[in-house]
Amino acid sequence: MFVLDAPVAIDKPAAATPVAPRARLRRLGRGLVPYLYLAPALVLLVVWTYRPLVQAFELSTYSWNLLPTQPMKPVGTGNYERLLELPAFWDSLGRTGVLILGLLPFTVLLPLLVALAGRRVHGRARTLYHAFVFAPFLVAPVAAAAVWRWLLHPGGGFVGQLLGSDRNWVYDVDTAHTVIIVITGWQLLGFAVLVIWAGLAGISSDYDEAARVDGASPGQLRRWITLPLLSPTLMFMVLTTVLLSPALTFPLIDSMTQGGPSQATTNIYYLLWDYAFHSFDAGLSAAAGVLLFLGFGVLAGALVWISEKVAFHDD
């Protein structure tokens, strides 16, 4: 005779305890805290960087002479077409390239040599050495332009007396651009040395000590240890030179040559300013600015990609 078992009661899973509204708000608040810290910087970035970029692109599609009483006339891509047909635009691009190439020795090669030489200076002389190298960077560009104009004056300037020449270095087509490059490089040298010093300070001495144990010479240490570890810093200085050199030369050009003689010192940055505030062609100036932004953006992306490829990794 079979006896049926009594039915077994199966417990139902307990219902999930609802999360209290206050707990949800606390979690949400904790998640928003990092964004609240970033909010002021993001607002300033949008207001002072991205919004002007959008406005510049919009302005580049209009014809306007900057007078509030004159209406803005839409021209589409007319400003870009007109700009690309101007010989002055292409000439300014060429001078910008020459400017960047001329400044690279002052921002990469010479600072590297000065920084490596500074490692041999010790004590109080090291502090004096650092101050002497960095001092030109603290001079205001307009003040530097005034002093250099006096030094290069053809009527008894120090440079003319030193070289025995009465050449007008600032207003000579063959030398004006070189003068701008040399003065800008003289001012940037201290900053570049400071950056490379920081890069050298971040290199551990353990690498050199291990290489010395293996019999490496000082030249081999610099070639195979210091330079590879310093390559990210050097690429940063190359990137800084490419992106900022046209803007950094603007005070000197405006104070010393006003883009002359015969536009010999007019680079792309000064050209777009000239179109806006001398020719009063806001649309053409905005078009030049947009092309400048896009072109240097491509260069910056290429340099960042190269720096990632050539960077030395400790692992």
Q: Which residues pair with 62 in a beta bridge?
A: 74
The span from the CA of 293 to the CA of 150, in Å, is 35
Q: In whole angstroms, give the CA distance from residue 206 to residue 212.
A: 10
Please, which pLDDT band fits residue 98 given cuts at 50, 70 and 90? very high
Q: Which of 18-22, 104-108, 190-194, 249-253 has the lowest mean pLDDT?
A: 18-22
- Regarding predicted confidence, which is higher, 28 or 299? 299
Supply the pLDDT for residue 154. 81
Supply the CATH number for residue 126's domain.
1.10.3720.10
Residues 6+ apart with CB under 8 A from 264: 95, 173, 176, 177, 257
Average pLDDT of span 209-220: 76
**Does 193 reside within a domain?**
yes
What pLDDT is recorded for position 310? Answer: 67
Say if CB 306 and CB 239 are below 8 A apart. no
114 within a domain of the structure (yes/no) = yes
273 in a structural domain: yes
Q: How many CA atoms lie within 13 A of 40 on its CB side?
A: 1
Query: What is the mean predicted confidence (pLDDT) over 179-196?
Result: 91
Cα–Cα distance between 10 and 234 in angstroms, integer? 72
Q: What confidence tens digit (pLDDT) does each residue in 133-147 have?
A: 888 888 888 888 888
Q: In the prediction, which pLDDT does 229 show?
A: 82
Which pLDDT score is estimated for 106?
Answer: 93
Q: What is the pTM of this model?
A: 0.81
What mean pLDDT is reported for the chain?
A: 83
Helices (DSSP H) in 60-157: which residue ranges? 78-84, 87-104, 110-118, 124-134, 141-151
Q: How many structural domains compose the chain?
A: 1
Query: Does a structural domain hold residue 71?
Result: no
Average pLDDT score over residue span 137-163: 83
**pLDDT over 50 (residue 44):** yes
For residue 161, pLDDT beyond 90: no
Q: Is 129 within the bounds of a domain?
A: yes
Domain of 145 in residue numbering reads as 89-280+288-310
Residue 104 has pLDDT above 70, yes or no: yes
* Mean pLDDT comparison of 8-12, 19-23, 97-101, 212-216, highest-scoring range: 97-101
Residue 308 pLDDT exceeds 50: yes
Ramachandran region of residue 259, left (φ > 0), alpha (ψ -120 to 50) or beta?
left
* pLDDT grade for 228, boundaries at 50, 70 and 90: confident
Task: Say yes or no to pLDDT of 14 above 90.
Answer: no
The pLDDT tens digits for 246-262 are 888 988 998 888 888 88
What pLDDT shows up at residue 7?
55
Label residue 18 by pLDDT band (50, 70, 90).
Answer: low
Classify residue 73: in a domain, yes or no: no
309 has pLDDT over 60: yes
User: Looking at residue 2, what is its pLDDT?
Assistant: 47
pLDDT over threshold 50, residue 315: no
In a domain, 13, yes or no: no
**Residue 73 scores a pLDDT above 60:** yes
Residue 182 lies in a domain: yes
Residue 184 has pLDDT above 50, yes or no: yes
